[in-house]
Amino acid sequence: MALARVWPRPTNPPRPRSSTAAPADRLEVILEDGDPSPSTPSIRSTRPFSRRYHFRDAGQPWDDSPPPSYSFAVGEEVDGDGDGHGDGGEKRRRNVRDRKFIARRGGWRRLLVAVVALVLVAVAVIVGVAVGLRKKAHPTMTANAPSAPSSSSPPVTGPFPAGSYSFLTFLDVVDASCTANPDTWRCYPDVTYRLSATASAATFNWIISATAATRPANFTIRSTENPFAPMFEGLPLQLLDEDLPTERYAFLLSIDKVVIPSSAITDDNAAASCYYNGTTFQAELYTKKPRTYPSPAPLSSSASAAASSPKPASATAQADDFGPWPFAVRIQQLIDAGVGRPTCYKTVDGRLADRIPDGPQPRPGRSSCSCLYRNWRDPN
């Protein structure tokens, strides 16, 4: 029958253990069968530590080994006076430095590169989302502008006929019926097509702008500098005979036409200038009627496409910025006979001087003076 071992209890109540307790205050080692248990070295420390007690299971039988002594496991030290302050920050920095990723050579640089890469990725994602939302909120709109007829390409400045155009015409008719002296009425270039097909050429460079992107669009027209044609700006174009073979845009304005007589009209042969105030300047720009002047020369496909494409409208257009108008055009200057038409003055050094009192008198009856330009010839 096994005898139960009874361990004597200390006669004095246990006192709190302290790392500074003297050896005499500790319990004596209990000897069994005359064999002393392994000596346990006293552990002294000037810093607090945590203790972990190991207790045997109550249901586990005792073997022949001596009862377990206290075991101490030194845990993480408490900084300073044990209140969690002091040099704790330094300890955390040591822990970061001891990590393998940081401890390797170049660890800090790799960490910095990774952080910068993450920031760049985040910025790229934010910018992409913002741009996508903006495009979704403002979708690109394409105006369904009516296309020009097959002989012309639509300009990029708006629906046809918006663009910068060169209207190449010839002087067809000169009528001086409104004055008794035909030398006081002249039309540039003073040569009609009947006399010369090339010398009768006259070119008008005009710019057409669209004021609305929807159909029907409103268009205005303005001129460029021209020594023989009037200057105007922002004149409205009126669409006539829409969808008919004679469909055309038209405009007109009143000008004071100045003519330098082709011969002397005074007894002293003084230079003179005659004014036809209230002359009507009108133009009709056809959109279907073909042009026949100048006679088309053989062109390559690329040159033909370039010749039939109007140039974009520009506020500072130059002579080479204009594409040819691809259809028929008719331009006319017209004034009826009347008292005081024309009014002529002597000129000195280009300045007006005395009025010529016995100037040319108007012809009786209903008559008019005109200059007619166009770019097609009627079949004979």
Kindly give the parts of the chain with pLDDT less than 50.
1-4, 7, 18-25, 29, 31-32, 36-37, 40, 43, 45, 47-58, 62, 68-85, 137-156, 297-309, 313-317, 319
In whole angstroms, how far apart are CA 216 and each of 146, 159, 287?
9, 10, 15
Nearest one of 318, 327, 301, 287 to 168, comparing CA atoms: 327
Shortest CA distance to 149 belongs to which of 284, 328, 297, 296? 328
The rounded distance, in Å, linking the Cα atoms of 306 and 97 is: 73
**Count of C-beta atoms within a 10 Å radius of residue 173:** 14
Query: Tell me, what's the pLDDT at 380?
Result: 61
Its pTM surpasses 0.75: no
pLDDT in tens, 51-92: 444 444 445 554 555 554 444 444 444 444 444 445 555 666
Comparing C-alpha atoms, which of 258, 286, 278, 248 is closest to residue 338?
Answer: 278
- H-run or E-run covering 236: strand 235-236
Distance CA(42)–CA(247), nearest Å, equals 118
